[in-house]
Structures are given as structure tokens and as C-alpha cells.
Structure 1
């Protein structure tokens, strides 16, 4: 059976503060996975989500 390439993509969102912030609660980089519709959202997504390493809400950007 041939698989049909869907419209929705699974993407990864990474915290932007974890890379540069040295005064965070614990070491590491926080990542979330989600999906997006490639027809409606052609650009990269930026969402404000909670980062447990920074212990605050920060901007998470889409990475490939």
C-alpha cells in the first residue's frame, strides 16, 4: 500500500532561553513536539510555553 503524504507535519519546539541562560534551575534544553498544518502555516512557529529548566514561560521556536 502506498502511503499518502499528509498535510500535517510533526514539529519540534525548542526553548530559546535555555541555550543562552546560565542562571537556570537545571541544566538542559526543553523541547516540545506538536503538529502543524503546512497549508495554513507555511512559516516557522513561535509559541510561548513553560520551560521547566528556566522555571518560567519562554518563547519556543520551531526547529528542524
Structure 2
């Protein structure tokens, strides 16, 4: 039962990426380092509500 989630940059708060995850197996929020085209560098991206 995968659900779509949105990843937002922690620096500029722009929503850059979408992905899916199984919420029953991973209840905590996902955080990864990805490239932000607004900041023009790699930053931490966190799952939004």
C-alpha cells in the first residue's frame, strides 16, 4: 500500500520531488540529500504533510 509523498527543500521550502513509500512499514518522515534547482546546490529534502 504505497502512497505518494512530496519532498521539500529544508533551506528554501520549495517542493521539488515526489516519490512513494509504504507508510505502514515506515511511519517516520523521509529525509534525503537531493539537488535543489532553486538553491543551486545539494540540500536536505524532507517529507511534507
TM-score (norm 1): 0.68
Larger Rg: 1
Q: Which runs of 5+ in 1 are unaligned?
A: 1-6, 20-28
1:49 lines up with 2:34 in the alignment? yes
- Larger helix fraction of residues: 1
TM-score (norm 2): 0.86
**Once structures 1 and 2 are overlaid, which stretch shifts more, 29-38 or 52-61?**
29-38
CA distance in 1, matches of 2:34, 2:26: 19
**Count of equivalent residues:** 49
- Larger strand fraction of residues: 2
Q: Which runs of 5+ in 2 are unaligned?
A: none
**1:42 deviation in Å?**
1.1
RMSD of the TM alignment (CA)?
1.2
1:32 lines up with 2:31 in the alignment? no
